[in-house]
Structure 1
Amino acid sequence: MSATDATTPAIEAVTALGLDHEVTRHGRVNSLEEAAAARGIEPRDLVKTIVVRRAEEDYVFVLVPGDREFSWPKLRALLGVSRLSMPDAATARQVTGYERGTITPFGSTHAWPVIADAAVVGRRISMGGGAHGVGITVDADAALAALGAQVADVTE
């Protein structure tokens, strides 16, 4: 099996959950816009997974549409905390099993809570597939249900 055909923990997890999905493989990209174009979708349908540190050894995944930025104040208010941070690349890999740019809640080494921005609901989205140049396209509502995601307005 070549690297372009290899599976990832994310692909295996989505398959095991029985989610209808499509895997897209493309070369490395330099921007979200390039990734969206390579997957044949609009940037708003490419959902970024951001790892946010709540406290020591306590993280959450935040799912954000590609055309939006998450709001620190909204996320802090939702979580009822006064302080949040983003882990460095090495810590993000340690707590998810994925490198930055490939992170997804699917197949992560730890099932951290998932918060999805309300703008994700009701769409077909593409998420990181657990390796550079790999995307997984799924029905957002089915994916959010499978992840037990909390849906809230957390973006600007």
Structure 2
Amino acid sequence: MMSSIDTPILSILRDADIAHRLLPHESEATTILEAAEQRGVKPDQLVKSMLLRDMGGQMALACVPGTASVDPKKVRDLLGCRRMTMVDSKHVQSITGYSPGMVTPISVFGMLPIFFDPSLAEFEHINISSGSPMAGVELRFQDLVDFCQPTIADIRRDETST
């Protein structure tokens, strides 16, 4: 049943010879917590990927652990932009080819700058979307870094901010 899942993301992983494991879901996961529960992993092992855009149209993908939030101001400062905001969910698919929640650093590699918060390195194995709401993919954090070549910088929203 689940073995029929095949997506461009899975093809890229196979073609790049990146070791990975498909983690099927029993039902569509629509939140980080649902996906983590169905995959049997901690929510922070999931990579949350947020698409950002500045006022001039420059875009970036910012990736943080599942329960964290991206601080657009920190990404803006890294890019030297005046203002960055999250791309409206209704535009994510037309820009990336993937619906919100399905975007991964692999799916946008080569299209736009990618940023990883260093806290993603807490786990040796992390989870990204397979490109299908019915499965995730587990792979080594270092393999994802080696493939995507992100800028690693503090882009997490501070928990103590008020």
Report the alpha carbon displacement of residue 100 of structure 1 after superposing the two structures with TM: 0.7
Q: Structure 1 stretches of 5 or more lacking a match? A: none
In 2: Cα distance, 1:76 partner to 1:5 partner:
40
Report the alpha carbon displacement of residue 3 of structure 1 after superposing the two structures with TM: 7.2
Aligned match of 2:59? 59
Aligned match of 1:148? 149
Q: 1:34–1:51: structure 2 CA closer, same or farther, 3 Å change rule?
A: same
Aligned match of 2:79? 79
Aligned residues: 155
In 2: Cα distance, 1:10 partner to 1:135 partner:
11
2:12 aligned partner, one-letter code: A
Report the alpha carbon displacement of residue 110 of structure 1 after superposing the two structures with TM: 6.1
In 1: Cα distance, 2:56 partner to 2:7 partner:
28
Identity %: 25
Report the alpha carbon displacement of residue 86 of structure 1 after superposing the two structures with TM: 1.9
**TM-score (normalised: structure 2):** 0.86
8 A contact 2:22–2:138 mirrored in 1? yes
Aligned match of 1:139? 140
Q: 1:107–1:75: structure 2 CA closer, same or farther, 3 Å change rule?
A: closer
**TM-score (normalised: structure 1):** 0.89
Bigger CA drift: 17-26 or 120-129? 120-129
Report the alpha carbon displacement of residue 51 of structure 1 after superposing the two structures with TM: 0.9
Structure 1 stretches of 4+ moved >6 Å: none
Aligned match of 1:88? 88
In 2: Cα distance, 1:63 partner to 1:24 partner:
20
1:43 paired with 2:61, answer no
